[in-house]
Structure 1
Amino acid sequence: MGHIKAYYEQITAISQADWQYISAQFERVRFLKGEVLTEKGDIERFLYFIECGVLRYYIPDDDGELTFGFCFSKEFASAYDSLLMQSPSTYRLQALADTIAWRISHDGLQKVYAKTQIGNVIGRYTAERLFLAKNKRELELLRQTAKERYLNLFAEQPEIIKRIPLKYIASYIGITPQALSRIRRQIC
């Protein structure tokens, strides 16, 4: 739980009473590599804080899979739109490596919001960061070439390049694995 507290304290000071209440809402869980945390069509019930491991967001379909996000240690993860709306998820959340996470249920999260002011501050901050990251990604997909998107991963998210299989990186930047191989040959 120390990682979560440190994350919160980067945002604002947290009282011992608030921390005790919030931390009591979380439980520690483990996921094996390849395990699906949230299935397409299921309603997301949890918000996860990743202690260690890697998660992937993707849309499964008949033509393959479309990867659109990753989550690493010391980050929150969830099929967040499904969690907020309590509606079926349109994608999957999967562990790409053995993962340890702390999770809070939708009901537990609502309790934290209702009983602590700090919960609302942290929730708003986290939601705003998710929105800004999503907005940035959408603009990159619209304005940049695949080569530029790949090169940006080196500068902005080197952990993706180091820890994610190339087939998922290709899908993430919107190209085929073969096109990614061509780009990699051009820059080497």
Structure 2
Amino acid sequence: MEEIYKYYKEQFNISESDWEIFASKLTRQEFPKKSKILNVGQTENHLSFIEQGIVRFYIPKEDSDLTFSFAFSGSFVSAYDSFLTQAPSHYVVEAITPTVLWRLTYEDLQTVYQQSEIGNLIGRKASEELFLKKSQRELSLLNESAEKRYLNLFTERPELIRQIPLKFIASYIGITPQALSRIRKRIS
């Protein structure tokens, strides 16, 4: 919880009273490697902050899953469309490494909005961060080559990318594992 407090202090200069309201609603949850945080058909009830770990978002397919996002420690994570609408998710959220989340329920977030001065700012910051990641991903798919998308991901988090299986990375950048292997040989 100390990492979240530090983040909110740096980002928002959160007051002690607002922090107490916010912190009282947080729950810590650990997920082992390869465990599902949210499955298809479940409704997302949490906005979470990743203390540690890597999370993958994917659409399960019969022949191979379609990975469309990753989230790393120090960022927010949620099946945000399901969270906002309180409707079932169309995709899976999975911990691909041992992951520790600090979680806030949908109901508790509404309480934080009402009871704290900074609650709306925190909610807006989380939603902006999630939106920007989605927007950058869409633009990348439309404007960049697979090699450029791979290099961007590698540049973004080089220390963590080694922990992500290559088949997930290939799916994320929209190519086969064999094509990714050729890209890696070409740039090394």
Conserved? CA contact 2:140–2:149, under 8 Å: yes
How far off is 1:15 after superposition?
A: 1.0
Query: TM-score, normalised to structure 1's length?
Result: 0.95
2:110 is matched with 110
2:184 is matched with 184
Conserved? CA contact 1:79–1:89, under 8 Å: yes
Conserved? CA contact 1:51–1:100, under 8 Å: yes
Conserved? CA contact 2:25–2:108, under 8 Å: yes
Stretch of structure 1 that moved more, 37-46 or 157-166: 157-166
1:22 is matched with 22
In structure 1, list runs of 5 or more residues that go unmatched: none
2:149 is matched with 149
Measure, in 1, the Cα distance between the counterparts of 2:25 and 2:138.
Answer: 33
1:67 is matched with 67
How far off is 1:171 after superposition?
A: 0.5
2:89 is matched with 89
Overall identity of the aligned pairs, in %: 51
Query: TM-score, normalised to structure 2's length?
Result: 0.95
- Aligned to 1:28, the other structure's residue is in SS state strand
1:99 is matched with 99
- Aligned to 2:40, the other structure's residue is in SS state coil
1:54 is matched with 54
Coordinate RMSD, CA, aligned: 1.2
Conserved? CA contact 2:76–2:129, under 8 Å: no
Stretch of structure 1 that moved more, 24-33 or 154-163: 154-163
Moved over 3 A (4+): none
User: For 1:137-168, what per-residue CA distance to the aligned partner results, in whole angstroms no more than 9, with x for missing partners?
Assistant: 11110011111111222323324522211111
User: How many matched pairs?
Assistant: 188
- Aligned to 1:120, the other structure's residue is in SS state helix
- Aligned to 1:163, the other structure's residue is in SS state coil
Conserved? CA contact 1:153–1:160, under 8 Å: no
- Aligned to 2:7, the other structure's residue is in SS state helix
User: For 1:5-33, what per-residue CA distance to the aligned partner results, in whole angstroms no more than 9, with x for missing partners?
Assistant: 11112221111111011000011111111
- Aligned to 1:48, the other structure's residue is in SS state strand
Matched, 1:139 2:174: no
Matched, 1:44 2:44: yes
User: For 1:34-54, what per-residue CA distance to the aligned partner results, in whole angstroms no more than 9, with x for missing partners?
Assistant: 110101111011111111111
Measure, in 2, the Cα distance between the counterparts of 1:126 and 1:57.
Answer: 17
Amino acid at match of 1:51: E
Conserved? CA contact 1:11–1:122, under 8 Å: no
